[in-house]
Structure 1
Amino acid sequence: MHIIKLDATDSTNSYLKRLSVNEQVADYTAVVTKLQTNGRGQMGTVWDSEASKNLTFSVYKDIFQYNIEDPFYISMVISLALLKTLKSFSIPKLSVKWPNDILSENKKICGILIENVFKQNKFSSSIIGMGLNVNQLEFDNLPKASSLRLISGRVFDLDEVTIVIIKNLKHYFNILKRGHLDVLKEKYEASLFRKNKPSTFQDAEGLMFSGIIKGVSDYGNLQILLEDDIIKEFDLKTVTLLY
């Protein structure tokens, strides 16, 4: 297990991408930083984290030998690895807010940014960025955010959490490599936040509507049961789940 520790960097994903361009990077190489000056989230959002209190890191995953047609299964693997890790630390009421925000007690504790690399017209590698709120106690103007310490009352060792996450990534990537897609999808869907509960959504035009989350497609689209008993699929750019 190769872990590169930095005091500060712009983005661990960017650092790992630059590294992989210039040299051969071993599978599951991780880059961990105390301070990320330009952390990125989904859809171009900014990931802000208090220095040395949280886990901001990225993992390089070689997937060239994997037969992956639908990249969302990579997202499922990472979400499940994080859930397994957090359960092992007795974090309660865990769920995945589609597509891959990790919640505890309905508050966000982890965000994921996956950047896939293509070579020879197939998936070659993934750079998996994770921002996990661990020991931070205050989240100004972020009422829906929390941390492992706020939830559990414990102070966590960041190195220990990192090692357990990588171990669980290996576990679920092995399931993916063996082609057990149904196992991954079943576990992922069972963990979806507000699955089978009436919820309010907002579409790309800003209009709100009601529906019930039923699952996800192989491509990662959210499947919502609408009022006319029709299940419609939405991608990340066209729908937002409102609390």
Structure 2
Amino acid sequence: MSINVKDLFNNLHIQLDEVDSTNNYAMRLIDDDKAQNGQIVSARLQLKGRGQRSKEWIAAKDKSIAMSILVEPNLPLSKMIAFNKAVAVAILQAIHSFYPSLQCAIKWPNDIICGDKKAGGVLIENVIRGQQWAYSVIGIGINIFQEGPFIDLPHAGSLLHEGSNPNDIHELMIELYAGILKQITTFNEEEITHFYHTFLYKKAQLQQFKSEELIWEARIDGVDENGNLILTKTDGSMLCLKHGEAEWFWDTP
């Protein structure tokens, strides 16, 4: 870990006791012209955390990472999907570096899976001004220590494992920050795509989906440049699934 990255993190880190949402707080900084490139907002407790499709993400105080990173991407808008993949790859690489024994994966599009349970996720919100990609707010929620059962969330989990300690939250945040800055700065699309597919949950396996009250099965082949999930159905036909078109059908826990 570069000491310069750690210093940068500490200098740009806004640490809150509690907040509605770290993404909301970061967006307010942008609206008030107080945002800085590379700034971090974190909270010990997030009261109204959001995941994909506006789903609520709730975790107990001091048991999880709730952080948002503000970046000026310096990329064309056409690279937005690749940027999202780069962030997901950086997060998985950071977790694997920090907890080498954990088996974690990316569930399309940006959920963090550990032991077949959702341990976290990413919500990226972009600020576009004219044709310029002004800011990305990278919201990261990862459950570190909170133990189940999780009421009404049977598929939720955590990174909790033997040897974890309270300092892990701060140290893992720095690891995540360093990894994300590296990925979006170097931005090697071929490498990003390779690692995204390496980490992709259930790749080359059959998975059930639910749409319009029907449950159907398909093999997960990958994710294309538009962010669509590439599937092969049981009849051999190909399908590109857009986010929100079907629901992931979990096995009964």
Superposed displacement of residue 53, structure 1: 1.4
Q: What is the Cα deviation at residue 152 of structure 1?
A: 3.9
The share of aligned pairs that are identical, in percent, is: 27
Aligned pairs for 1:66-215 within 5 A: 66-89=75-98, 90-141=100-151, 142-149=153-160, 151-157=161-167, 158-176=169-187, 180-203=188-211, 205-215=212-222
Judge conservation of contact 1:201–1:242 (CA < 8 Å) in 2. yes
Instruction: Please say if residues 222 and 229 of structure 2, whose CA atoms lie closer than 8 Å, have aligned partners that are also in contact.
Output: yes
Per the alignment, residue 53 of structure 1 pairs with 63
Unaligned runs of 5+ in 2: 1-7
Q: Give the CA deviation at 1:241.
A: 2.3
1:147, CA displacement in angstroms? 1.8
Equivalents in 2 of 1:57, 1:91: separation in Å?
24
Query: Is the partner of 2:76 in helix, strand or coil?
Result: coil
- Distance across 2 between alignment mates of 1:231 and 1:191: 22
CA distance in 1, matches of 2:43, 2:28: 15
Contact 1:91-1:152 at 8 Å conserved across structures = no
Measure the CA separation in 1 of the matches of 2:46 and 2:34: 24
Runs of 4+ in structure 1 deviating by more than 3 angstroms, as ranges, are none
**Aligned Cα RMSD in Å?**
1.5
Q: Please state how far the C-alpha of 1:238 moved relative to its aligned partner.
A: 0.5
CA shift, 1:240, in A, is: 2.1
Q: Contact 1:215 / 1:224 at 8 angstroms: preserved in 2?
A: yes
Deviation string 1:87-146 (CA, Å, 9 cap, x unpaired) is 112242111110010111111111111101111223221101111111222342233222
Return the alpha-carbon distance in structure 2 between the equivalents of residues 173 and 139 of structure 1: 36
Query: Could you tell me whether the CA contact under 8 Å between 1:134 and 1:156 is conserved in 2?
Result: no
2:228 aligned with 1:221: yes
Q: What residue number does 2:32 align with?
A: 22
Query: How far 1:156 moved relative to its partner?
Result: 4.1
Picking from 3, 8, 11, the partner of 2:18 is 8
Structure 1 gaps of 5+ residues are none
Count of residues in Structure 1 that have an aligned counterpart in Structure 2: 237
What is the deviation of 1:72? Answer: 1.7
Question: Are the counterparts in 2 of residues 91 and 148 from structure 1 also a CA contact under 8 Å?
Answer: no
Provide the C-alpha distance between the structure 2 equivalents of 1:226 and 1:153, rounded to a whole number of angstroms. Answer: 42
1:30 and 1:12 mapped to 2: Cα distance? 9
Q: Per-residue CA shift, 1:35-75, capped at 9, x if unaligned?
A: 11111111011111101211111110101x21340422122
